[in-house]
Every structure is written in structure tokens, then in C-alpha cells.
Amino acid sequence: MGFSAKVALVETITQLMPGLLERLPLILLFVSGYVAYRLMTVTRITDAFVIWALRRCNGRPTFLILYVIGAAAVLSAFIPNAITVLTLLPILKSLDKDFRQQGVQGMTTPLMVSAIYGAGIGGMGSMIGTPANAVLLVALDVLNVPGREQITFFNWFLWSVPLVIMFIGLAWLVAGVAGLPAGARGVRLRLSCQDDSCAIRSRQRFAVLLFSVFLGYWIAEAVLRAVSPDFAALSPAVSTGFFIVFLLLVFVLPAPDGVRRGGPLLRPGDLVSGVPRRGLVFVLLLVVVFGGARFFGLDLIASAWVGERLAISMPPLLVFFLTVLAVIFLTEVLSNTVVVAGFFTIVHLTTQSHGMAALPLMIAVSVASTCAFMTPVATPSNALAFGEMRGASLRGMLLLGALLNILGAMLMTGWLSWVLPLVY
């Protein structure tokens, strides 16, 4: 390599460094999230969750679905949806196996969609729940939307937490009631373990502790980064330090094993043996779909077409509903970040022509973009779940997802059009 080429390479790296440093915490989150996923699988701490859930709901399938949706929603409010689903996959597989062993068929699809629904619902729960919210804040500033300065990390919860709770109820009705197979109704799932094989051991307790540390740090990091610019600047260095310590605790520190200390919880080979191959195939398919749509300009065409339809004179509440519904269904085949980026300008112009406040509808667009419940290629979390849950029904996923999309659009229209003007 010549001297001029070396200089050009150094200049390129120098230009990229600020962007890489800014994204470093997100990269470390995904890497440590995969390690945490393998930690749950190898140490079988997912079994402990399954046993706890079974005992809490007396083995009733409908309430197991509710527990999965709720857990996914809480996690995805602070960590990426894909990491949430990846973390829950061992639990879903364990539950599906138990149902099959006890003669209950058809539970794969409702278990799968419950994680997908919860992950999407949780994304609307906080300002840091989805990248679309970051695009929203930029669009509000660029378009100089009145009321934007009133949005804070904490008052977002005033309207989002009730919405999440109501949405969880809707998702439970769809997945845990309408989607429940006939053979599972009235069944009580029994524990598949015998004697003390389900007892939580010392290594599992230690794994639970490390998993709690993983969740605790990344939730705290997300909150602090959202409310403190000073911490945002320090986050790459702090997150790197946490990542190194977390790896040492998982791969180096001897874990307790009964009355003695055993080996580390994970070995390097455990990472390779647990690669979710089928899930990654669907993620790659997702990249192809989104890339193709972007290359052919389908996102711009779809946004322009919807914008023309919204320009027609109609009642404001109908404009709200149709906008939310359009965003939801477009994100089933297009990137949600791309959809909202194109919709914000359209919505801003639409509200002006209909005499509506722009802020509530723009927030609704951002929130609706997390509700891609219908197709396997809508989001990475959908792709991972559908790819890894063998036996899941595509037809069932489409029908249940379409039902939740429509019900969700109605819920968001009624709630957000009423509560957001009161808050902002």
C-alpha cells in the first residue's frame, strides 16, 4: 500500500470514528445481548421462568400467553426488540416442547406471536423504545411543530403506559383467546420435570444474577443517555468497561456449583453452538426485502399514494385512523424507520389542510410504526421468532396479526387523539 493510500485510509477511519463511537454502545448491547441469550440457554435458567409462570397461572395456556406478552413488553421498552425476542426464544421453545409432550398441538404460533406482540408493544412504552422516536424528535424540530418542547422522557410515560397496558390486553385477546387452539382450551400444563430436576441450582442463581446485571446496566444506560447529555458523551467508554467486566464474569470467573466453585458459566464454544441459523436466514430475507423496496423507491411511492388519499376532505378522526392504519400496514413490508421518515412531512401537511394539530398525529405515526405484527419480514424480531419456532403457521400469523393491526389502530386513534392534546 502506497503512502497516499495509507493517508487516505487514515483520513477515512478518522472521519468514521465519531459515528462508530456514537454507535458503540448499541453494538455492545447487541453482542452482550447474544451472550445473555446463550447464558439463559446453556444454564437452563429459562426453565426456572417456565416453572414460575406455570405455578402462577396453574398451567393455563391463556395466562401463559399473557405472561410472555407482558415480559416482552417490559423488556422491549428499554432494549431492542430483537434482543427481547432472542432472550425469550429459549422460554418459548421450552413451553412449546412441554405442550407437545402432553398432547397439545398448535401452541407454537400463539407462543411465537405473543413474544412478537409484546416486543412491538413495549417499543411504544418509552422514548427510547424504538429508533422511530428519534426520527420523530428530529422531524418535530425540523418542521417547527408547536408543542414539541413539552415532550420529555418522563411525561411520555403519562400516556404511553396506559396505552401499553391496553394494548397488552388486546394482544392477549388475539393470541391467548382467539389464537388459542381448541385442543389447548381447558388444559392445565403439567411440569415435565420429575423429582428435583426443576430445582434452581447455584449456577442458575448466579446466571440469573448476571442476567439481571445485564438488563439493569443497559436499561440504566438508555435512561441516563436520554436525560443526561453529559452521560451520553461518556457512554461509549462506560459501556466498553461494562462489556469487558460482563465477559469476564461469564467466561472467566468460576461460578458456584453447589458447595464448591465450578468452571465459568460459558465457554467460547457455547456461542457457536447456539447460533439461531433459521432465524438469521429470515433476518437476511428481511434485509433483501427492505433493500429491494428502497432500491425501487417503493417507500416513496407508497408514502406519496397515501398522502394523496389523506388530502381528500374527511373528518379529523377519520384522518387520524387512516393515517395510523396506513403506517401499520406499510411497516409490514417496509422499514418502519423509512416509513415514518417519509410520513412525517406528509402528516404535517395533511394536518394543516384539515385544521388539525400536527403533534398528536406525528406521535401517533411514530407509535404505530412499532406495530408490525403480521408478517415474518416486518422486523428483525419477527424474523427471528418465525425462523426459530419450528412449526409456526404463516397463515395463523397473518390472520392474527391483521386482526391485531386493525384493533390496535382503533385503540391508538381513540386514545392518542384524546389524551395527547391534554398532555401536550
pLDDT of 228 reads 83
CA dihedral 157, 152, 362, 346 (to 10 degrees): -160
Q: How many CA atoms lie within 13 A of 215 on its CB side?
A: 18
- Reported as a pLDDT band with limits 50, 70 and 90, residue 300 is low
Q: In the 3-class helix/strand/coil scheme, how is 237-285 assigned residue by residue?
A: HHHHHHHHHHHHHHHCCCCEECCEECCCCCCHHHHHHCCCHHHHHHHHH
Q: Is the dihedral of CA 293, 294, 296, 299 positive or negative?
A: positive
Average pLDDT over residues 294-320: 73
pLDDT of 285 reads 66
User: Whole-model pTM?
Assistant: 0.78
Position 9 pLDDT exceeds 50: no
Contact 143, 344 (CB under 8 A): yes
Q: Any residues with CB less than 8 A from the CB of 419 and at least 6 apart, and which?
A: 159, 162
- Reported as a pLDDT band with limits 50, 70 and 90, residue 107 is very high
Q: What is the pLDDT of residues 260-276, one digit of tens each?
A: 567 888 888 888 776 66
Q: How many CB atoms lie within 10 A of CB 14?
A: 9
Q: Could you tell me which residues are beta bridge partners of residue 260?
A: 257
pLDDT of 1 reads 53
Q: Any residues with CB less than 8 A from the CB of 214 and at least 6 apart, and which?
A: 32, 33, 36, 246
Chain centre distance of CA 364: 18
Q: Distance between CA 359 and CA 382 in Å, rounded? A: 29
Q: Distance between CA 85 and CA 376 in Å, rounded? A: 13
